[in-house]
Amino acid sequence: MPVNVEKELSQSWKRLHGAQAEIGKTFYRWRQVALEFAGDEVAPLDVSLRAAEIFGKDISKSFLPRLNWLKGEEGFMLILGKALAGIWNTDGAIAKVEKGDNPGEIFIKCSRDPWPTWAKEFGVPMEEVALCRERMYQSILEDVGAFMNIPLKVEMQKAISRGQGETVMRLYKA
């Protein structure tokens, strides 16, 4: 029986997008449950930021075996930036990395991010989406920086969820 390659690819593409949507929606479902258990004393943003921090700490463990200084500082920063962009791409975003003007500076640019759409479905403020992405990356960089013995920072310069058309994060050696 012949295989219809176009049909198979189309079905795989639909399954991938379905799985990516479940990733984001599951985060917001768990956020909702956590808020119900926490009660009115806890701010929703605090719950989300703590979750982003925990995600970052867990993700950073997978980064460490792949990072090294064999290609110098610029190569290290580029590999790290690509790893951070890869997390976003796994979620269904379109993220890429560009070199900055300085050797210790990388820009992670995202032109399509599904997280604001999922947040909107659950009534989550758009600013929370931007702050959580930044907190998750900061959490990753804390562990990576400690392991590699270099101070790393990330700052969000623009955000899709703030209505700025794209998200731009500056990764740099502090």
Q: Which domains, and CATH codes, for the chain?
A: 5-173 (3.30.1380.20)
- Say what the pLDDT of residue 69 is: 83
- Say what the pLDDT of residue 70 is: 84
Digit-coded pLDDT (tens) for 113-125: 999 999 999 999 9
CA dist., res. 156 & res. 22, Å (int): 25
Burial class (CB in 10 A: 0-12, 13-18, 19+), 68: exposed
DSSP 3-state assignment of 42? coil
Instruction: Show the tokens assigned to 155.
Output: 């700052």
Of the listed ranges 16-25, 36-45, 76-85, the one predicted with least confidence: 16-25
CA dist., res. 157 & res. 160, Å (int): 11
**Position 15 pLDDT exceeds 90:** no
- Say what the pLDDT of residue 56 is: 96
**Position 67 pLDDT exceeds 90:** no
Report pTM.
0.90
